[in-house]
Amino acid sequence: MLGAFVVRWPENLAYFINLLTVILSFYSVINNAKCARRNGTTTQMYYKELLRSTGIQIIAWIISLITCILIAILLSILGRTMSWYAKPIWICFLYVLPILSVSMAVINHFGKKQKKVFHH
């Protein structure tokens, strides 16, 4: 689908969509905190875990970015900088799959640590 078509709308509609997304996100966080409190989790613990999860996601993004840069450097060293250009599907194998794998590994690693903390 990428490159097949472009969706275009007025700038005012984009601002509205962004504002609506922010409002719904805050509503979701507050609503989930209330649900967690009803299930016996303190609000402080809920927000602490929310911030921890956000931090883990940011770490996964950073490590994924580093992975992407390392792959690009390796391709440059091998003289294959634009090797994917002949067949764009190679981008999936050169960049997308490694980045997804690294992200999932980071999240899985921290998730296992968290599981151990809650079981003790």
* Mean pLDDT, the chain cut into blocks of 10 residues (120 residues total): 78 95 95 89 89 91 92 87 76 86 90 58
Q: Report the candidate in 63, 68, 71 with the shortest Cα–Cα distance to residue 103.
A: 63
Q: Taking a C-beta distance cutoff of 8 angstroms, is the pair 56, 48 a contact?
A: no
Instruction: Give the CA diameter of the chain.
Output: 59
Q: Report the candidate in 116, 119, 113 with the shortest Cα–Cα distance to residue 55.
A: 113
Average pLDDT of every residue of the chain: 86
What is the pTM (predicted TM-score) of this model? 0.68
User: In which residue are the tokens 């634009």 written?
Assistant: 82
State both tokens at 1: 């689908």
Domain spans in the chain, listed from the N-terminal domain onward: 9-41, 43-119
The CA distance from 63 to 34, in Å, is 33
The CA distance from 17 to 2, in Å, is 21
